[in-house]
Amino acid sequence: MLDFKVMHKLKNMLKIILIFYIFQSFLINKIYADHLKVIFNVNKSYQAEIIIEGYDRKYLFESRNAPLFIMNKKLDDTDKPINIKSIPHIYIGLFAFIDINGDKKFSLDFKGNPSEPYGFSLNPKKNYQDIRYEDLVFDTSVTKEILEININLDDN
C-alpha cells in the first residue's frame, strides 16, 4: 500500500502535468501569429515543389543552416496565399526556391550561381551573391498585407 508521502508527491506531479497540458493546449497556439500570407509570382511549367525557408538570424541565413522553419508546397497549389505561422515581433527573412532536381536543397553550379529558380522576401533587385540578410528581413508584427515573392528565372 502506498504511504502518504508517496501519494502527496504523485498528486503534486499530476498537478504539474495538468498545468503543463493546459499551457500546451491553449496558450502555445495563441503565441503564434498566422497573419503572414505569402503568394508567389512564378511560371508553373515545372513539375516540382517550391520550398520556403524562414531565417531569423543573419549568420544562419548566410550559412543556409538551421532555418526557423521550412515549408514544402506543390507548385500547382501556389495560387492561394500560404499561411505562415511565426512567432510575433520577430524579424524574419524568407527564401524560396523551386526544387527542380527533387533533392530538397538549393542547388548551385560550379561557379556558385543558382541552378534553380529562387526568390526572397521583399524582392531585392540584386544578384544572388550580393543578397544580404538586411535586404530581405521584415517584422512579422508590422506586416499586415499579403507578401509577394517573385521567383527569379533569369539566372537559370
Range among 4-8, 25-29, 86-90, 100-104 with highest mean pLDDT value: 100-104
Q: Is pLDDT above 90 for 68?
A: no
Q: Of the ranges 21-30, 34-43, 75-84, 118-127, which one carries the lowest mean pLDDT score?
A: 21-30
> First vs last Cα of the chain: how many Å apart?
74
Q: Which tops the pLDDT comparison, 127 or 76?
A: 127
Q: Cell numbers at residue 11, please?
A: 498528486
All residues at 6 or more sequence positions from 38 whose CB lies less than 8 Å from its CB, including other chains: 52, 81, 82, 84, 94, 96, 121, 146, 147, 148, 149
Task: Please state the rounded mean pLDDT for residues 58-77.
Answer: 85
- Burial of 78-99, coded b for 16+ CB within 10 Å and e otherwise, reads beeebebebeeeebbbbbbbbb
Q: Which tops the pLDDT comparison, 131 or 41?
A: 131
43-63: per-residue pLDDT in tens? 667 778 889 998 988 999 998
DSSP state at residue 58 = H
The Cα 48–Cα 124 span in angstroms is 24
- The reported pTM is 0.72
**pLDDT band at 30; cut points 50, 70, 90:** very low
Q: Which tops the pLDDT comparison, 111 or 81?
A: 111
pLDDT, the chain, mean:
79
Q: Is pLDDT above 70 for 10?
A: yes
pLDDT score recorded for residue 31: 47
Break the chain into its structural domains and give their ranges. 1-31, 33-150
Q: Which tops the pLDDT comparison, 83 or 66?
A: 66
